[in-house]
């Protein structure tokens, strides 16, 4: 009986320890993603920015871009990209090691996202907040509800078949 109890105790200890380690890894990675990163990813190693053919290495907070035939690792974008809006540009999540070493593959694979006008939800965009509670716009404005809040309930009753009216 003691051997069975000891076996279950060891198994439970191993299970709890493994579960705690996995939670720490996920939490640490989520905390390092930039505010302009797209939502919905538990793990991100790199973002590929097809508009400017640049990578962003999330753990080191580094941009990786080609300059005069060599790959540069820097904390900011090069001056040629100074007008690029990281919040609006399309980002592709890549979890392969050293993606810049296979740049031709990624450039061809994600060419359709260059100048893509589809908006990706980002983690946090402080520049374009509609839900600030500053009260600057008076009551009912700037609360993130949009123009249709409460006005279009039962919308189908007012549009559609004219025979019902």
Q: What is the mean pLDDT of each run of 10 residues along the chain (165 residues)?
A: 66 59 48 83 91 95 96 96 91 94 94 74 55 44 38 39 42
pLDDT for the residue numbered 149: 35
The answer to whether the pTM exceeds 0.85 is no
Distance CA(46)–CA(25), nearest Å, equals 16
Closest among 2, 3, 54 to 46, alpha carbons compared: 54
Bridge partners (DSSP) listed for residue 48: 55, 92
pLDDT for the residue numbered 33: 86
**Domain boundary assignment for the chain:** 33-124
Own/partner pairs for 115-121, CB < 8 Å, 24+ apart? Answer: 115/51, 116/50, 116/51, 116/90, 118/90, 119/88, 120/38, 120/39, 120/90, 120/91, 121/38, 121/39, 121/40
């Amino acid at each position: 009986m003691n051997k069975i109890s000891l076996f279950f105790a060891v198994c439970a200890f191993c299970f709890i320890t493994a579960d705690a380690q996995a939670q720490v890894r996920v939490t640490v990675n989520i905390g390092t993603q930039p505010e302009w990163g797209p939502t919905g990813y538990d793990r991100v190693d790199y973002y590929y920015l097809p508009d400017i053919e640049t990578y962003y290495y999330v753990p080191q907070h580094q941009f990786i871009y080609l300059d005069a035939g060599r790959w540069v690792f820097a904390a900011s974008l090069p001056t040629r990209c100074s007008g690029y809006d990281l919040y609006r540009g399309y980002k592709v999540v890549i979890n392969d090691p050293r993606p810049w070493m296979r740049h031709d593959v990624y450039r061809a694979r994600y060419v359709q996202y260059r100048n893509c006008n589809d908006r990706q939800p980002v983690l946090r965009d402080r520049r374009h907040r509609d839900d600030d509670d500053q009260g600057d716009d008076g009551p009912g404005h700037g609360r993130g509800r949009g123009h249709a809040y409460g006005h279009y309930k039962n919308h189908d009753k007012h549009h559609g078949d004219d025979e019902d009216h």
